[in-house]
Amino acid sequence: SRCFDYTKPQVLHFLLSNLRFWLDEYRFDGFRFDGVTSMLYHDHGLGAAFVNYDRYFDAGVDEDAYAYLGLANKLVHRLRKDATTIAEDVSGMPGLAAPQKEGGCGFDYRLAMGVPDCWFKLVNDTRDEDWDVGYLWHELTNRRADEATISYVESHDQALVGGKTLLFELADSAIYDSMHKGGADHRIDRAMGLHKMARLATLAASGHGYMNFIGNEFGHPEWVDFPREGNGWSYQHARRQWSLRDNPGLLFHFLADFDAAMLDLATKQQLYRSPQPKLPFVNPGDKILAFGRGHTYFIFNFHPEKSFADYPLPVPAGTYHLILDTDEPRFGGHERLAPGQRFFSHRDDDGIDRIRLYLPSRSALVLEKEKARKTRK
């Protein structure tokens, strides 16, 4: 991203006119502002640790850049009331996604940039059996409730030249020769299981929205790289290979089908109209993470080997229906659970209502409370 001198009126006119051009000429319905951290601080946030609120409001803040961002949001929303603006800011500056009438900068959303960092850190630096689900839960939900946040597993940053999508990172070279049906490569089995779980956990725990970069939903095996001098002006990587997703003999379509089912579930359950995730159950030893969102409950077993029978989980009293399972055969899973099951809570001697579930290794379940299910129907 270019660095500008935001004290100059002609610079502001140029940048604001640029926003209007895309709104008017191409009917854009919003913008994601790249590199906002670099704009907000005179040191561009390089090597900076934003560990307390003093850091956000010291002399290092470029107040003229902040003023431009406020003007940009005011312009965009005045020209198009339904427009969406999103800030890509790693510093977490308070108020960036707060309304201007409340003293904020006016962005509609900010990106939860720590979430993809968390997933790739776990995948690259930590053995599966050492994953800390408490750390994962913290990163998935570590945000201010009064500012709208969009979470994601991966974006263009992990798909551009030099980067890998999550599936590519998990499967490595096996993605080229072992993604056919009927294969028996444990690397692919692991990659597909964690790919689905990561996306479901991120979507379900997100505060206000979920983002996907085109092609990542089916685990595109290669990067995006547009023709340039550095690659000899090649068009080889200037595309997404939709044929991989549409080929019934390959496994990619299972991931795309799961992504569609997951988004459909989020829409029908109105997840983002519900309060923040609640009732978190975290067992680091068993690698179990469970939480509720409205009347929907998400249970994850991240253990690479252990499946658990009759695993007790605290829930509000009632009857629960299994509505989604990452291990379903239609998603390339092993069908270790019968579909459409109902589960009944029981009050234990300690006065806590619990359901008992079979939790297959490296899989996730979604349950819906029966009363809410009948109401929705």
Residue 63 annotated in active site: no
User: Pick the catalytic residue: 88, 259, 325, 327?
Assistant: 88
Tokens 């750390």 found at:
135
Q: CA distances (Å), 247 to each of 168, 242, 244, in order?
A: 18, 9, 5
How would you write the chain as a 3-class SS string? CCCCCCCCHHHHHHHHHHHHHHHHHCCCCEEEECCHHHHHECCCCCCCCCCCHHHHHCCCECHHHHHHHHHHHHHHHHHCCCCEEEECCCCCCCCCCCCHHHCCCCCCEEECCHHHHHHHHHHHHCCHHHCCHHHHHHHHHCCCCCCCEEECCCCHHHCECCCCCHHHHHHCCHHHHCCECCCCCHHHHHHHHHHHHHHHHHHHHCCCEECCCCCHHHCCCCCECCCCHHHCCCCCCCCCCHHHHHCCCECHHHHHHHHHHHHHHHHHCCHHHCCCCEEEEEECCCCEEEEEECCEEEEEECCCCCCEEEEEEECCCCEEEEEEECCCHHHCCCCCCCCCCEEECEECCCCCEEEEEEECCCEEEEEEEHHHHHHHC
User: Pick the catalytic residue: 34, 130, 264, 348?
Assistant: 34
Residue 62 annotated in active site: no
Q: What CA–CA distance (Å, rounded) separates 243 from 250?
A: 10
Q: Are 152 and 202 in contact (CB under 8 A)?
A: yes
Q: Are 355 and 344 in contact (CB under 8 A)?
A: yes
* The token pair that represents 371 in the structure block: 């009363």
Positions marked active-site: 34, 88
